[in-house]
Amino acid sequence: MSVVSGQLLVVSCQWSVVSCQLSVVSCQLSVVSCQLSVVSCQLSVVSCQLSVVSCQFLVLTLSR
């Protein structure tokens, strides 16, 4: 094997490692994005519940 082909093999291997690391980072970002979506959804549910309570309070107040 010549020196040039050996160096190309090393570069190819390094690129594979970098590509793999980028895939891992992309996966981690997807997990974070998913967690943020879950938190956002939970906050929306809480907001909706507060709106329901507020509406019920308003109805009770007006019915007096």
DSSP state of 64: -
pLDDT in tens, 2-55: 888 889 999 999 999 999 999 999 999 999 999 999 999 999 999 999 999 999
Q: Which tokens go with 59?
A: 């109805």
Q: How many separate domains does the chain show?
A: 1
| Beta-carbon-side half-sphere exposure of residue 63 (alpha carbons within 13 Å) | 6
Confidence of residue 64 (pLDDT cuts 50, 70, 90): confident
Confidence of residue 1 (pLDDT cuts 50, 70, 90): low
> Which structural domain range is residue 2 located in?
1-64
Look up residue 43 and give its amino acid: L
Cα 57 from Cα 64, distance rounded (Å):
11
Place of tokens 């998913």: 34
pLDDT in tens, 33-48: 999 999 999 999 999 9
